Each structure stands twice: as C-alpha cells, then as structure tokens.
Amino acid sequence: MASMGKTVRKDLLIMKIVVAKEINEELESWQNRQTESVLFITWTSDIIYESRENEVNLYDFTRHRNGHIELTNLPFSKYQILNYSSVSGEHQFEFKNFNDQIVNKIFLANEDLGVQTTYNYDKYQKIVSVDHFRSTGLVQQVIYDDKGDPITNRFIGTHKKIEIYWQRMNNELTETGMMLFDHNEQSFYNSYWDWQFQEFYKVINKNQNVTEIISYELPTLNSHIKTRKVQKGHFY
C-alpha cells in the first residue's frame, strides 16, 4: 500500500522576505532560483500597479475596486461645456467655462474608456489639481499652489486615506509630513517613510519562520532575523 504524503502546514513553511519598491525582472529571476517561499513587500504608489499573490503592496488600498467612472459622472460635467475637438493623441476631452477657458482636461483609460486622469485649472489657466481615477472613484489627487508646486498628495481608499504634504524651502520642494486617516483614527508622521517602515515591520511580524529579510535598494531593516541590503544589479 502506497504511503500517504504529509500535509505541510503553511505556518511552518520557511520564507524569505524582500522589501522593494516594486517587483522587476531581476527580482523575478532571483525568486525562480529559490527553494524557500518568497514574500515581497512593495511600496510603489503607482495606481495602475498590480500586485501578485505573494506580494503585499502598501498602497493596494487605493486599487481594490471594480468598474470605472464615466465621463458624465464627473461633478463638473453638469455645469461646464464639453469640448470634443481635443488634440489627438493627448487628452481626449476638455471642459470649458462660459468664458471659453479650459478648466478641465480629461484622459481616458485605453481598455474601457473610463476616466483615468483629469487636469484641473483655475480662471488664470494655472493648474489647481490632478485627479487620478481607478474603477468607480478618485484614488489619488495632487494639489498645487499658485506657483505650480505640488503641496498635497492624497491617496484615497474606501476606509483609508493618506495625505503627504510638501513645501518649498530654500528653493527646494521639501516634504513636511504625512497624515494617515484610517477609519475613524488619524495619525501624523514626520515623513511618509516613517509610515512605510512601520508597515514593513507590521507585515514582517505577521509571518513566522522567516529566515532572511532583504532590503532591495533600501536601508537595511533592524531585526533579530538575518538581514542584508542589495543594490540593483547585484542580487544573487
């Protein structure tokens, strides 16, 4: 009689954790050579980024929605004039006010023609904000001051929102802090990196039997677990 195979509990599997901005070809090639399981923790905030089964992305809270937003569902479509004769190959539509000034430029997603991005202008034709849509709602908004500098970058989910603040100091654009809105709680951080590192450790601490933590183009994390830092092009 053939012996039955053993069932291995998932919580007993050993694994390596890689912390990186995103998964690239070098990381994929390295993963294919591993005998242990691999978990990636990534921090890219690109709203069209798609995370994988063995990946935790810190900004996935902005992406998990279905459907898309229609042009006619934009709030300003009810009181501004839609212009169909936009420049081919760039934004597809424009909204104008009654003074014939462009107040919104609309970019559509290629796959379903839903609204992807809007550029919004004031009456002086200065950019006020850039809104990025995914699925049925606004997921990222960048707000600009009257000099054209971005001063707030918002990432918006169903129950979570992040606001990153910027200010020009000594002729350089400098981050001045980050606010996390999570359900009914608010937390301020001196930098979005402070929040990201906190999240890295939260994910790591949820996993057992981790043999190594690898920081890919990132400072080495402090841990009782074996850690190392790897630069791009030097992964082995």
Give pLDDT tens digits for 11-35.
446 899 999 999 999 999 999 999 8
Note down the domain range covering 98: 67-134
Cα–Cα dist 209/224, whole Å? 12
Q: Does the pLDDT of residue 6 top 80, yes or no?
A: no
Which tokens in the block code for residue 213? 């933590």
Say yes or no: 73 and 126 in one domain: yes
DSSP state of 29: H
Say yes or no: 76 and 18 in one domain: no
The answer to whether position 37 is within a domain reads: yes
Q: State pLDDT tens for residues 141-188.
A: 999 999 999 999 999 998 899 999 999 999 999 999 999 999 889 999
* Residue after which a domain boundary falls, among 134, 154, 183: 134
The answer to whether position 159 is within a domain reads: no
Residue 73 — pLDDT band, cuts 50, 70, 90? confident
Say yes or no: 87 and 98 in one domain: yes
Higher pLDDT, 116 or 42: 42
The answer to whether position 179 is within a domain reads: no
Q: State pLDDT tens for residues 189-222.
A: 999 999 999 999 999 999 989 999 999 999 989 9
Say yes or no: 23 and 45 in one domain: yes
The answer to whether position 51 is within a domain reads: yes
Instruction: Compute the CA torsion angle 204, 207, 210, 212 (nearest 10 deg).
Output: -20
Number of domains in the chain: 2
Higher pLDDT, 228 or 8: 228
pLDDT of 9 reads 42
The answer to whether position 168 is within a domain reads: no
Cα–Cα dist 17/40, whole Å? 6
DSSP state of 149: -
Q: 42: how many CB neighbours lie within 10 A of its CB?
A: 22
Q: State pLDDT tens for residues 74-97.
A: 877 777 777 765 555 566 788 888
The answer to whether position 139 is within a domain reads: no
Cα–Cα dist 186/103, whole Å? 33
Weakest-pLDDT range from 106-110, 116-120, 151-155, 218-222 = 106-110
Q: Does the pLDDT of residue 8 top 50, yes or no?
A: no
The answer to whether position 184 is within a domain reads: no
Q: Lay out the sheet containing 55-57: strands in order across.
A: 55-57, 37-42, 15-20, 210-216, 227-230
Mean pLDDT of 108-133: 86
What are the backbone angles phi and psi of residue 166, rounded to the nearest 5°?
A: -130, 155
pLDDT of 136 reads 64
* Percentage of the chain lying above the pLDDT 70 cut: 87
pLDDT of 202 reads 95
pLDDT of 90 reads 64
